[in-house]
Amino acid sequence: MRSNEPTGPDLEQLEQELTHIRCFDYVRLGHDRRRIELLPRNRIGGGRARLEQTWHLLQQDGRTVLALVGEEGITCTLQPHEDGVWRGRWLAHERMPVELRPAQPAGPVAAVASAAGNEPIDAVYSWVDGSDPAFRQTLRYWAACEPGAHLPDQLAGYRYRDNDELRFSLRSLAVCAPWVRHIFLVTNGQTPRWLAPAHPRLTVVPHEAIFPDRQHLPTFNSHAIELHLQRIPGLSRRFLYLNDDVLLGRPVAIDDLVVPGGAQTVYLEPRPLPAHPHTGAVHDRAYAYTQGLLDEHLAPRPARQAIAHTPQMYDRELMAEVQRIWAGPLAETSAHRFRSPRDVALRILYYHYALQAEQHRPRHTAATVYSCSADYCFLRLTSHVAETVEMLDDLLFQKPRFICINDELDDSAEADIVRACLRARLQEYYPQPCEFERGPA
């Protein structure tokens, strides 16, 4: 930070410097500290609280002042010093002195050594192109063969729609998690037209390579596919699993997923899992069924929390233990071509088994459908154009660590507008092609 205080037009340059630094330690001397993010358009991202919601640069008596503003007006004002620290005092309440210090977050490469030594970690994606006519024909054929299945929702266009999220998810992974060793893309034999399948750090894995019983194929059931990911040849012991609608908004360290000593982080949503196996949507009933399996083996719990839609770290050794304990229900799930109320939801079984066995640490998120936190945003696309576009714009400013964009759009003209806006925002968010692409965006 420059020692001479800027005036007039220099405020714009200083504002750009602050947003470039972005992360600051907000220290209330003698009280506490927390990390806050100064975002463009005067927003506070991570660390936002009731009394610190926006930030503003002002000129007061010829001096440059940074004001933090909340629900009760200006909370505190701070001035720049030669050491790069902004210092000031709260204007009300405790009137304690405060400092705003540029933060120095540890990079992802350093985190590899601190959390997992030299252990390689791969990433696994599952993907399908639901617009492929051959896929749609196969889907309709097998749906006609299973008239008793819970199919109406599973035949909806949005269930298998490809909005090119995989392209942008790979871009986010390449930039924000460069420590990933290799990427495995699990498909039904399809390959994205823009993908570079011969890249040395990329392997396309057909379902036939991981399903031990070929009679279970073809499958349209993500629960069944996820049960066999650990069978991928050459896969690292620990691996990161991502759906194609999960993206990274900023750098992710292995320390965000695995702590020293080997325990894994579990990101939880602030809502309970469905608990009624005989009512509700098919996936809700499957979640309740999975909880029942946990209750049969472990001490019953009245309410377990939902697992957040973030990248999921799995340990193949722990997965083998889960496979051994629940071999029967897992084999039954593998045979379900479409989702069933008696499906085992792997992430619920795996993580809640590990949590009750005290092998993981929980990390609660503060996410809701319509807002972002510093860690996580789950965004459900709707046909309300203005509202959804505003939420997409929020992603550009908040840049949460983990993002999930859930498409349940219909085929209306409004939905088409939302999908076009989604692609434009993703292109703005992740503009540079990554090494795994061969075609233009």
Q: Which domain holds residue 262?
A: 117-365
Q: How far, rounded to the nearest angstrom, does the alpha carbon of residue 328 sit from its chain's CA centroid?
A: 31
Whether residue 68 sits in one domain with residue 121: no
**Each residue's pLDDT tens digit, 107-136:** 333 333 334 456 889 999 999 988 888 998
List for the chain the helix, strand, coil content (%; round to 5). Answer: 35, 25, 40
Mean pLDDT of 91-114: 65
> In this structure, is residue 182 part of a structural domain?
yes
For the chain, how many structural domains are there in total?
2
Report the SS3 class of residue 412: coil
Mean pLDDT of 142-152: 72
Query: What is the per-residue pLDDT for 104?
Result: 60
* Cβ neighbour number for residue 368 with a 10 Å cutoff: 14
Whether residue 354 sits in one domain with residue 251: yes
How large is the angle between the packed helices 327-334 and 316-325, nearest 10 degrees?
100
- Report the C-alpha dihedral over residues 184, 185, 190, 195, rounded to 10 degrees: -90
How many residues does this entry show for the chain? Answer: 441
Picking from 304, 331, 365, the residue at the C-terminal end of a domain is: 365
**Each residue's pLDDT tens digit, 213-265:** 999 999 999 999 999 999 999 999 999 999 999 999 988 888 888 876 677 88
The residue type of 308 is A
- Report the C-alpha dihedral over residues 366, 367, 370, 372, rounded to 10 degrees: 80
Picking from 48, 74, 102, the residue at the C-terminal end of a domain is: 102
Query: What is the per-residue pLDDT for 301?
Result: 82
Q: Quick one: 205 exposed, middle or buried, by C-beta within 10 A (0-12, 13-18, 19+)?
A: buried
Give me the CATH number covering residue 259.
3.90.550
Query: What is the per-residue pLDDT for 380?
Result: 87
> In this structure, is residue 439 part of a structural domain?
no
> In this structure, is residue 410 part of a structural domain?
no
> In this structure, is residue 215 part of a structural domain?
yes
Nearest residue to 374 (alpha-carbon basis) of 344, 397, 399: 399
Mean pLDDT of 385-396: 83
What pLDDT band is residue 21 in, cutting at 50, 70 and 90? confident
- Cis ω on the peptide bond leading into residue 218 (within 30° of 0)? yes
Query: What is the per-residue pLDDT for 17?
Result: 87
Task: Provide the pairing of β-strand 264-272 with 202-206.
Answer: unpaired
**Each residue's pLDDT tens digit, 357-377:** 765 656 554 333 334 566 788
Whether residue 188 sits in one domain with residue 82: no
376-381 β-sheet, strand order: 246-248, 402-407, 376-381
Whether residue 188 sits in one domain with residue 83: no
Whether residue 128 sits in one domain with residue 165: yes
> In this structure, is residue 58 part of a structural domain?
yes
**Of the ranges 142-151, 307-316, 355-364, 416-425, which one carries the lowest mean pLDDT score?**
355-364
> In this structure, is residue 219 part of a structural domain?
yes
**Each residue's pLDDT tens digit, 196-206:** 999 999 999 99
Q: How far, rounded to the nearest angstrom, does the alpha carbon of residue 274 sit from its chain's CA centroid?
A: 21
Whether residue 35 sits in one domain with residue 134: no
Whether residue 169 sits in one domain with residue 97: no
Q: Is the pLDDT of residue 37 over 60?
A: yes
Whether residue 307 sits in one domain with residue 205: yes
Whether residue 331 sits in one domain with residue 293: yes
pTM over cut 0.95: no
Picking from 350, 365, 380, the residue at the C-terminal end of a domain is: 365
> In this structure, is residue 254 part of a structural domain?
yes
Query: What is the per-residue pLDDT for 9?
Result: 46
Whether residue 295 sits in one domain with residue 188: yes
> In this structure, is residue 372 part of a structural domain?
no
Whether residue 224 sits in one domain with residue 87: no
What would the two tokens of residue 137 be? Answer: 């024909």
Portion of the chain with pLDDT greater than 90, in percent: 46
Whether residue 90 sits in one domain with residue 190: no
